Structure 1
Amino acid sequence: MRYIVVGAGAVGGAIGGRLHEGGRDVVLVARGAHGRALREDGLRFTTHEGTRTLRLPVAEGPEEVELRPDDVLVVAVKTQHTAAALAPWAGRPVEGGGTAGESLPLVCAQNGVENERLALRLFRRVYGMCVVLPASFLRPGAVTAACGPYTGVLVLGRYPSGTDDTAHRIAADLEDSAFRAPVVADVMRFKYAKLLGNLNQTVEALCGPVAAGTPAAELAARARAEGAAVLEAARIDHVGAAELAALREGAVEARPSQDGERALGSAWQSLARDAGSIEAAYLNGEFVLLGRVHGVPVPVNETLLRLSEAAAARGLAPGGTAATDVLALVDGAV
């Protein structure tokens, strides 16, 4: 199997780098300054073992890849970019007949729960992946994933449900490449649980680290409480926080980064890179949508969504908003 990683940032770069080191055939897909750096200088990949440069094939888009029947597409872009990223791949011919959308497996290695729905419109064989993989991408050509003894836990299953031989083959390759990769028939239960945890990300991006006992922690807890109430009202099942945490225990533990780089979550990194957009519409925004559909008030998530999207549009640095100010806005809106 060859893995074509569409979006070789923090998560995609870490998965692609580890699969390459595990002896698998990998193509990274990246554009702009990051793509140029990967092509010219290789992937500067930092894990708890150290930093090295990996030389992998790099493509700017589908027109540079001749697709084969044994290819697996791994999508790791932010959700706001998913539709635009997938559309050019779906109709691409595959050697031997058919198109990518008709025959190739596509794995959504992404946060949120909307990507799989978007993918299923274009691809017949879609797999969800609950990604527990602390990683950072702050500079073109460089990815850090410093946890150990495993780089991450990647829970895999068919979408909307089920398992198959392809899922088990992908999982076996990941397990040979420094990941834990359980295959489950109910992957979306894990993804909804992770989505609740991802609500911390917007608080981090706006207010900085969510440390116990701080206003930021109170803000994050209130966002998660709203999210839990929304999922209950919508009758959406999800695994418990303890079960999700158990996947990491003894497997994915923070290790000192050899290059001294310290980054917070994905949303924080988007502001730090001045990426121009943020994923909040598919994190907080998922609960805002469901709350409005099911009549559950969600003032915390509405406020975090509004402020984070404004911060991304204005190019604000992460951590510049006081959590007390956000709490005051929320309480004034209730």
Structure 2
Amino acid sequence: MRYGRTVRWIIYGAGAVGGVVAGRLAGSGQEVAVVARGAHLDAIRRDGLTLRQPGGDTVHRLESYGDPAEVDRRPGDVVVLGMKSMDTEDALRRLEFDGPVVCLQNGVVNERLALRRFPRVYSVCVMLPSAHLAPGVVEAQCAPVPGILDLGRYPGGLDDTVASLSEGLRKAGFHSQPRADVMRWKYRKLIMNLGNAVEALCGHVDGLDEAVRPLREEGEAVLRAAGIPFVSAAEDAERRGDILQLRSRRDGGSSWQSLARGTGTVEADYLNGEIVLLGRLHGVPAPANETARRLVVEAARRGTPPGSLTPERFLEVVRASGR
């Protein structure tokens, strides 16, 4: 596959991350279609997709569909999965496709699910501060570079498709490097994302870092016990450098936004829950991650708003769970 004007990006799940990528790709002159749902889809069809950026808003009139079966297939199509991990399996059941499938998602389970059904699966390590709090509107919160989207083939390696997709992302303003070992980077991102649940429960308050620390320490211990390689915090910091400059107010990440929007679900089962699962498989306790997973899932189910718990109280519950 060679990158060119015949390539069409089909963004399947156009929320915070998928929507920002769709808007940036379209704004750079690339062909884009989106698959969305509910009020978000209605707003995109009616008013276009509004991409809010520090330099000003842009509106993109995109091909928009409610189901991937509605999309007319063309040579050169690439399907990009942008939904949260708890929605991936159902989304894949609806997808009939013989081209490249790209996982533009946090967590490490999506690629494996996709590879069961599709032979050409690609993985993106997503570093893209963004938001989706209103139908038809997504927000890129960093400028001038909106995000870092390194990618490779799953489970490993590089090919012409990786080079083509990376070129397209760079044309859209992202930093993007082909990486044969992209999953090492995604496991580091998983460790970083373990704090999402606590951020959603507690908000950005004093003591948050202390509350998150045991989750990440558990995560690293579990991955080592499982023999799963991951890049170091120093490597991750070097890659990020000063590329991502936050220019908009950021109340919270994806789990915080899920509680704020009252979606009823969060993806903690596939972030903290991944560490819990691996810990149980390899005999390493992970009480902090299990506590965070349980509490944020309950908060989402009950419609509890973000910031309803203090970091001190969270740590008390963790200590009690480890007795």
Common fold, TM-score beyond 0.5? yes
d(CA) in 1 for partners of 2:62, 2:294? 39
Asked whether the 8 Å contact 1:136–1:263 carries over to 2, the reply is no
Q: 1:57 aligns with which of 56, 60, 63?
A: 63
What is the Cα deviation at residue 253 of structure 1? 1.1
What is the Cα deviation at residue 204 of structure 1? 0.6
d(CA) in 2 for partners of 1:122, 1:68? 20
d(CA) in 2 for partners of 1:242, 1:43? 37
Q: 1:305 aligns with which of 293, 307, 314?
A: 293
Q: 2:124 aligns with which of 119, 129, 134?
A: 129
Asked whether the 8 Å contact 1:107–1:129 carries over to 2, the reply is yes
2:90 corresponds in structure 1 to: 84
Asked whether the 8 Å contact 1:153–1:247 carries over to 2, the reply is no
d(CA) in 2 for partners of 1:192, 1:290? 13
Asked whether the 8 Å contact 1:18–1:177 carries over to 2, the reply is yes
1:324 corresponds in structure 2 to: 312
Query: What secondary structure, in the 3-state scheme, does the structure 2 residue paired with 1:50 have?
Result: coil
Asked whether the 8 Å contact 1:116–1:128 carries over to 2, the reply is yes
The answer as to 2:252 corresponding to 1:264 is: yes
- How is 1:31-70 mapped onto 2 (pairs within 5 angstroms)? 31-70=37-76
d(CA) in 2 for partners of 1:130, 1:47? 21
Q: 1:151 aligns with which of 139, 146, 149?
A: 146
d(CA) in 2 for partners of 1:306, 1:63? 35
Asked whether the 8 Å contact 2:12–2:68 carries over to 1, the reply is no
The answer as to 2:224 corresponding to 1:218 is: no
The answer as to 2:272 corresponding to 1:284 is: yes
2:103 corresponds in structure 1 to: 108
The answer as to 2:161 corresponding to 1:166 is: yes
What is the Cα deviation at residue 46 of structure 1? 0.9
Q: 2:18 aligns with which of 12, 34, 39?
A: 12
d(CA) in 1 for partners of 2:261, 2:41? 15
> 1:63-105 CA deviation, whole Å, 9 max, x = no partner?
3211112000000100000011111113xxxxxxxxx1xx300
d(CA) in 2 for partners of 1:306, 1:32? 28
d(CA) in 2 for partners of 1:238, 1:73? 27
Q: 1:246 aligns with which of 221, 235, 238?
A: 238
d(CA) in 1 for partners of 2:40, 2:65? 11
What is the Cα deviation at residue 216 of structure 1? 2.1
Structure 1 alignment gaps of length 5 or more: 91-99
d(CA) in 2 for partners of 1:43, 1:133? 18
The answer as to 2:147 corresponding to 1:141 is: no
1:27 corresponds in structure 2 to: 33
RMSD: 1.1
Q: 1:208 aligns with which of 190, 203, 209?
A: 203
d(CA) in 2 for partners of 1:297, 1:63? 43
What is the Cα deviation at residue 146 of structure 1? 2.3
Query: What secondary structure, in the 3-state scheme, does the structure 2 residue paired with 1:53 have?
Result: strand
What is the Cα deviation at residue 245 of structure 1? 2.2
The answer as to 2:303 corresponding to 1:315 is: yes
The answer as to 2:194 corresponding to 1:199 is: yes
Give TM-score scaled by structure 1 length. Answer: 0.93
Q: Match of 1:129, as an amino acid?
A: V
Equivalent residue pairs, number? 316
> 1:272-307 CA deviation, whole Å, 9 max, x = no partner?
111110000011000000111111111100100110
What is the Cα deviation at residue 218 of structure 1? 1.2
Q: Match of 2:285, as an amino acid?
A: P
- How is 1:88-99 mapped onto 2 (pairs within 5 angstroms)? 88-90=94-96
Q: Match of 2:19, as an amino acid?
A: G
Query: What secondary structure, in the 3-state scheme, does the structure 2 residue paired with 1:138 have?
Result: strand
d(CA) in 2 for partners of 1:251, 1:326? 33
2:3 corresponds in structure 1 to: none
The answer as to 2:215 corresponding to 1:227 is: no
> 1:213-268 CA deviation, whole Å, 9 max, x = no partner?
x432111001000001001111110111122222222321111x3xxx64311000
What is the Cα deviation at residue 110 of structure 1? 0.2
Structure 1 segments of 4+ aligned residues over 4 angstroms from their partners: none
Q: Match of 2:162, as an amino acid?
A: A
